[in-house]
Amino acid sequence: MTKDALQPNVRADEYMEITSATIRDAPAILELQKLAYQTEAVLYNDWSLPPLTQTLAELRAEFAETKILKACRGKLIVGSVRAIQREGICSIGRLMVHPQYQRQGLGSRLMQAIESLFPEAAKFELFTGSKSEGNIRLYERLGYRSSRNERLSVNLSLVFFEKRRQCPSSLTT
């Protein structure tokens, strides 16, 4: 880790570059994903969560239809998010930030960046676990509203969120 990453009062996201990921980034994104989702596995006492069991081949296949962004600090990928649009609905998933860079605004920046890639989307959708309070606060802060819950197991319920795109005000002359 570089010296500036450890300096107090220096936000990690000030040094981040968010760009489109390529299939060559898949191994590093998968490694980050498995690290970032460990806290969720502990929270839900479930190490079979899809982000932890996804294979490299499965992730590489997602690049065919899904837009995947990466946040880099130098050459190190420290964040990622992916989304796909169908019938005017943009489904966002797998928002992840390296544990050392969490709570510094990078998740918000990744969300804003992925939303901006879908200007034709009428609505954005995503989900998180019901015990993932930090994720829930982030999504609510970004304008997402809870739309439904789904119980998957004794330990895991999902909260689904949506955000409708605000129509630009009509200009009057």
Pick the CATH number of 3-164 from 3.30.565.10, 1.10.760.10, 3.40.630.30, 3.30.300.180: 3.40.630.30
Domain range list for the chain: 3-164
Average pLDDT over residues 148-158: 89
- What would the pLDDT profile of 74-90 be if each residue is shown by its tens digit? 999 999 999 999 999 99
- What would the pLDDT profile of 32-49 be if each residue is shown by its tens digit? 999 999 999 999 998 999
Rounded to two decimals, the pTM is 0.86
Reported as half-sphere exposure (CB side, CA atoms, 13 A), residue 152 has a value of 15
- What would the pLDDT profile of 123-137 be if each residue is shown by its tens digit? 999 999 999 999 999
The yes-or-no verdict on residue 154 having pLDDT over 90 is: no
Looking at residue 11, its pLDDT comes to 52
